[in-house]
Chains A and B, each alone.
Chain A
């Protein structure tokens, strides 16, 4: 980033919007440029340049999350074709550590934001519910790293998880009641005891070592 006045005004604006510090924004901008090949926007194909991402079982979901309109706060569904730096930062801001000194509601708000991000990862068809199929899809992807696990197993696990979720969210169910899927409220319920603050964040502070793309 240059030292131009307009650039720093931008930075400050971004700081305000996303909550990153200017150092972090700078570093992320560098990274953005690396990924995009000095273009102003990134497309899905650019993510192929990240070598280690290939081995991540949920790679497709992660990449998708970057373009998800819901995460970018641009709409209720659909995928963007390309994202600019501000969008990039928006996505990254979901992973900022929650400042513990903020008030209760703020913390709760951030928590919800993070959980919503997660929810969107599961709910691929944007219908506001995680259906069993989507759940299965997730589990299969998660277990896809191991070649010896069969689809059936993944499915059973997803079923089991869904059943458990149903019991948590809905409690007793009638014999012919059908559980449609996990809504966001149910999702929150499941996550009630678990503190996402300590789990879903990345330290953007020390990013000295930058992996290079090819």
Chain B
């Protein structure tokens, strides 16, 4: 099966390889000719002046040196991208092994080529480039897409585990290796304690992002997922802080001079660096959220603000020797909630995709470097050191997992089972972080740097490949508790009720529980923060819009099953109809869920679907388009027939209220949609949207269309109170506007009441209503009819 994959992308890659080879050969050959061509050019000019008669103007010249660095970097990135494409084409593969495996292989490949052609690789990785340019995007992306709700629910455990775990690992491994080094037989006597500790700190930097994709495939339970995620998030920051502190120690005159004072100072510094970084990040997050409040008219710079402020937080923190990583993470987390509501829909999409792109590029480059370093002459192999490193890494991780979780389980309501802990232990995959730190060790302080690099590489390869590939089967074998992602409105409803109930009971008991704290924060947030930071603090009543979407989806489902006929309600279709309307599709459910979650105390993340390597794919627009067209045709026909509403309701009278909203800002619409979409990435916020729109729903994009169509009339109305008929004309223009993201939800203006006639055209809705086998009471029928009607209203646009 692996072969199959390779076959698919080999053709492209071969091409790329040839190009690369060509270039590298060309460059080595042309080093001299490059200089000579450089001379030729001025000569050519002079020849015109007639100074050197025997030179010719060269018709074809090659100047490779000029473009070497960007050219090769681009090639590498392209190669990695092609590999990724191939990787995902073969569906089973992402579930089998983490994507980082693939990237490493590509890196090795490139490294092999470079080594083979004896080409000097461009010096793209040094300390400043890594820390200033390559690292921030990666961290920003993980912070931004973090599902906040489960993170904060498990915050205590995560902090305890990530923080202490990193420390325990670092010191444990370092000390054990030091002891090993003392054994004369291994020839490692010159590595002192500090160096060992430093090595321990950098090797303990886990990169479990790699396994998260595998976890997702296996649908492990939320808690477990969150622990690993949280660890990934905090781990980088903590190990870099530790690394820097230890480097500072190493730079001090002599190891023996280090006193207890210094060690205490080191600890204090650790805490200050960490906390200070976070505070910085939060401050910058608020500032940028505040600024985005005013960017209505210059929405093109909104992504810029987001990125620049995050980056600024990183740099500012680094200036003060605080942890830039933690700063940028905190900034992303803080900023996200408010920025998402303020920026326009397109900016939001831009931010998301650009962030992914940047982090993807960074990661690729780092892995390429890793590959390049692997295939090279700068290695030092020492069996003892390397084997013991591997062994100690595993042992200490096991120790830290079991010990720390044993303690934290006492405080947790839902303790982690032994199985969970085994999984957590096994997911200790090292990645690019460790490699970078090892690579950047200053040679002057670490004469044995090559050994460290080799050992790091071995650990990375071992853990990534062996652990990465086998963790999937392991999860399945251990039958780890799965998420019970039952998608139903009822579930959502009940769980919301229970959350409130619990909070209430806790109040009665006088018990300061989880829910209280979160509740207090939410109140504070609503009362102060949102007013300051969010553009025209829009109340989040997207329920109706979401529900409309829901209705629309349902009707569309009916359309698709061919139920929609141009004339009367015919019996053969009845059965189908009943079937169709029985189940609310997952999207509907999610809409409703979102509605509920937005307005409740707490929002518990139900669906974790964050995948570092991919954003959800677009829905099929073609289908949606077709449906829309069909729908409109039917509607037009039905309008001609002039059906009256069942149940003798006055056309449009009551339905108006259903549609009317207190405001109708197009940006707000976009925001709302985005709010809904944000949960794609599982950003459960307190009071924030947590809906996950299943991207497989072709309906989503369809909804986007009709919704966007509404926007335009709205805008017009907003500006000049034109009529509603724009809705019709908008059709054509909007069909080009496909694929602008899974935007849903907009708020129609109250003005829609003008379209009374549409209610009459809601034949499908009538049919649907009667088709629905279960009749509640006449009352219920009414309300359902409402929904159907107004959903048809929307759809027709």
Q: Which residues of A contact B (CB under 8 A)?
A: 28, 31, 34-35, 47, 50-53, 55-59, 61-62, 66, 92, 95, 97, 118, 121, 132, 138-139, 142-143, 145-150, 152-157, 159-168, 170, 172-179, 190-191, 193-195, 198-204, 207-213
Contact B501 A194 (CB under 8 A): no
Can you list 18 residue pairs at the A/B interface with Cβ under 8 Å? A56-B504, A62-B500, A95-B505, A132-B777, A138-B493, A153-B658, A155-B783, A157-B547, A159-B783, A159-B787, A160-B584, A160-B588, A161-B592, A162-B780, A163-B582, A172-B773, A209-B512, A210-B510
In the complex, B579 has a CB within 8 A of chain A = yes
Contact A142 B509 (CB under 8 A): no
Binds A, one of B43-51, B535-543, B707-715: B535-543
User: Provided the pairs A139-B493, A160-B489, A164-B488 are in contact, do residues A150 and B658 lie with their beta carbons within 8 angstroms?
Assistant: yes
**Chain A positions within 8 Å of B583 at CB level:** 164, 167
In the complex, B506 has a CB within 8 A of chain A = yes
In the complex, B645 has a CB within 8 A of chain A = no
Contact A53 B508 (CB under 8 A): yes
B491 to A, closest residue via Cβ: A194
Q: Knowing that A138-B493, A152-B657, A167-B582 are A-B contacts, what are 17 other residue pairs whose CB atoms are under 8 Å apart, sorted by A's residue number?
A: A56-B503, A62-B504, A62-B508, A132-B777, A132-B780, A145-B599, A148-B539, A150-B657, A153-B543, A153-B595, A153-B658, A157-B596, A164-B488, A168-B490, A176-B773, A178-B775, A202-B509
**Chain B positions within 8 Å of A175 at CB level:** 574, 578, 770-771, 773
B495 touches which of A52, A143, A199 (Cβ 8 Å) = A199
Contact B413 A201 (CB under 8 A): yes
Q: How far is the CA of A59 from the CA of B461 in the complex (A)?
A: 57
**Chain B positions within 8 Å of A202 at CB level:** 502, 505-506, 509, 511, 513
B510 touches which of A142, A143, A165, A207 (Cβ 8 Å) = A207
Contact A172 B579 (CB under 8 A): yes
**Chain B positions within 8 Å of A178 at CB level:** 774-776
**Chain A positions within 8 Å of B584 at CB level:** 160, 163-164
User: Provided the pairs A142-B497, A199-B495 are in contact, do residues A156 and B786 lie with their beta carbons within 8 angstroms?
Assistant: yes
In the complex, B70 has a CB within 8 A of chain A = no
SS class, residues of chain B in contact with chain A:
helix
Q: Which residues of B contact A (CB under 8 A)?
A: 413-414, 484, 486, 488-491, 493-498, 500-513, 516, 519, 523, 539-541, 543-544, 547, 550, 574, 578-579, 581-584, 588-589, 592, 595-596, 598-601, 657-658, 662, 770-777, 780, 783-784, 786-787
Contact A159 B578 (CB under 8 A): no
**Chain A positions within 8 Å of B504 at CB level:** 53, 56, 58-59, 62
Contact B775 A147 (CB under 8 A): no
Q: How far is the CA of A47 from the CA of B510 in the complex (A)?
A: 12
**Chain A positions within 8 Å of B519 at CB level:** 52
Q: How far is the CA of A195 from the CA of B223 in the complex (A)?
A: 14
Q: How far is the CA of A109 from the CA of B260 in the complex (A)?
A: 59
A196 to B, closest residue via Cβ: B498
**Chain B positions within 8 Å of A201 at CB level:** 413
Q: How far is the CA of A188 from the CA of B513 in the complex (A)?
A: 28
Contact B507 A52 (CB under 8 A): yes
- Which has the most chain A C-beta neighbours within 10 Å: B484, B579, B595? B595
Q: How far is the CA of A202 from the CA of B770 in the complex (A)?
A: 45
Q: How far is the CA of A207 from the CA of B497 in the complex (A)?
A: 23
Contact B783 A179 (CB under 8 A): no
**Chain A positions within 8 Å of B776 at CB level:** 132, 159, 162, 178-179
**Chain A positions within 8 Å of B770 at CB level:** 175
- Which has the most chain A C-beta neighbours within 10 Å: B496, B505, B592? B505
Q: How far is the CA of A202 from the CA of B786 in the complex (A)?
A: 41
- Which has the most chain A C-beta neighbours within 10 Å: B582, B600, B658? B582
**Chain B positions within 8 Å of A57 at CB level:** 500, 600
Contact B505 A92 (CB under 8 A): yes
Q: How far is the CA of A59 from the CA of B489 in the complex (A)?
A: 22
CB distance from A108 to the nearest CB of B (A): 17
Contact A156 B547 (CB under 8 A): yes
Contact B493 A161 (CB under 8 A): yes
CB distance from A72 to the nearest CB of B (A): 15
User: Provided the pairs A56-B500, A157-B543 are in contact, do residues A148 and B662 lie with their beta carbons within 8 angstroms?
Assistant: yes
**Chain B positions within 8 Å of A212 at CB level:** 510
Contact A153 B544 (CB under 8 A): yes
- Which has the most chain A C-beta neighbours within 10 Å: B539, B584, B773, B787? B773
Q: How far is the CA of A174 from the CA of B577 in the complex (A)?
A: 12
CB distance from B122 to the nearest CB of A (A): 54
CB distance from A68 to the nearest CB of B (A): 13
Q: How far is the CA of A176 from the CA of B658 in the complex (A)?
A: 27
Contact B783 A152 (CB under 8 A): yes
B543 touches which of A50, A143, A193 (Cβ 8 Å) = A143
Q: How far is the CA of A92 from the CA of B505 in the complex (A)?
A: 8
Contact A173 B786 (CB under 8 A): no
User: Provided the pairs A160-B588, A162-B776 are in contact, do residues A118 and B498 lie with their beta carbons within 8 angstroms?
Assistant: yes
Q: How far is the CA of A208 from the CA of B512 in the complex (A)?
A: 8
A143 touches which of B484, B505, B550, B596 (Cβ 8 Å) = B596
B547 to A, closest residue via Cβ: A156
Q: How far is the CA of A139 from the CA of B598 in the complex (A)?
A: 13
A97 to B, closest residue via Cβ: B413
**Chain A positions within 8 Å of B662 at CB level:** 148
A149 touches which of B523, B543, B772, B775 (Cβ 8 Å) = B543
Q: How far is the CA of A211 from the CA of B509 in the complex (A)?
A: 8
Contact B784 A159 (CB under 8 A): yes
Contact B510 A157 (CB under 8 A): no
**Chain A positions within 8 Å of B787 at CB level:** 156, 159
Q: How far is the CA of A202 from the CA of B541 in the complex (A)?
A: 31
B413 to A, closest residue via Cβ: A203
**Chain B positions within 8 Å of A210 at CB level:** 510-511
Contact B494 A159 (CB under 8 A): no
**Chain B positions within 8 Å of A207 at CB level:** 509-511
B599 touches which of A142, A195, A209 (Cβ 8 Å) = A142
Q: How far is the CA of A178 from the CA of B756 in the complex (A)?
A: 31
**Chain B positions within 8 Å of A28 at CB level:** 509
- Which has the most chain A C-beta neighbours within 10 Å: B413, B599, B774? B774
Q: How far is the CA of A138 from the CA of B504 in the complex (A)?
A: 15
Q: How far is the CA of A199 from the CA of B492 in the complex (A)?
A: 12
- Which has the most chain A C-beta neighbours within 10 Å: B495, B547, B589? B547
Contact A156 B500 (CB under 8 A): no
Q: How far is the CA of A24 from the CA of B606 in the complex (A)?
A: 32
Contact B493 A159 (CB under 8 A): no
**Chain B positions within 8 Å of A47 at CB level:** 508
Contact B773 A199 (CB under 8 A): no
B515 to A, closest residue via Cβ: A202
B514 to A, closest residue via Cβ: A203
- Which has the most chain A C-beta neighbours within 10 Å: B413, B414, B510, B539? B510
CB distance from A122 to the nearest CB of B (A): 8
CB distance from B526 to the nearest CB of A (A): 10
B223 to A, closest residue via Cβ: A198
Q: How far is the CA of A97 from the CA of B780 in the complex (A)?
A: 38
Q: How far is the CA of A185 from the CA of B494 in the complex (A)?
A: 16
**Chain B positions within 8 Å of A138 at CB level:** 493, 497
Contact B491 A157 (CB under 8 A): no
Contact B774 A194 (CB under 8 A): no
Q: How far is the CA of A48 from the CA of B646 in the complex (A)?
A: 47
CB distance from A102 to the nearest CB of B (A): 16
Q: How far is the CA of A154 from the CA of B510 in the complex (A)?
A: 31
Contact B501 A62 (CB under 8 A): yes
Per CB-CB distance, the 8 closest pairs between chain A and chain B, nearest first, are A148-B541, A173-B773, A209-B512, A62-B504, A148-B539, A210-B510, A167-B582, A146-B599
CB distance from A65 to the nearest CB of B (A): 8
CB distance from B123 to the nearest CB of A (A): 53
Contact B600 A142 (CB under 8 A): yes
User: Provided the pairs A142-B496, A142-B599, A211-B512 are in contact, do residues A153 and B574 lie with their beta carbons within 8 angstroms?
Assistant: no
User: Provided the pairs A62-B501, A142-B497, A152-B786 are in contact, do residues A204 and B509 lie with their beta carbons within 8 angstroms?
Assistant: yes
**Chain B positions within 8 Å of A165 at CB level:** 490
B490 touches which of A51, A58, A164 (Cβ 8 Å) = A164
Q: How far is the CA of A179 from the CA of B495 in the complex (A)?
A: 23
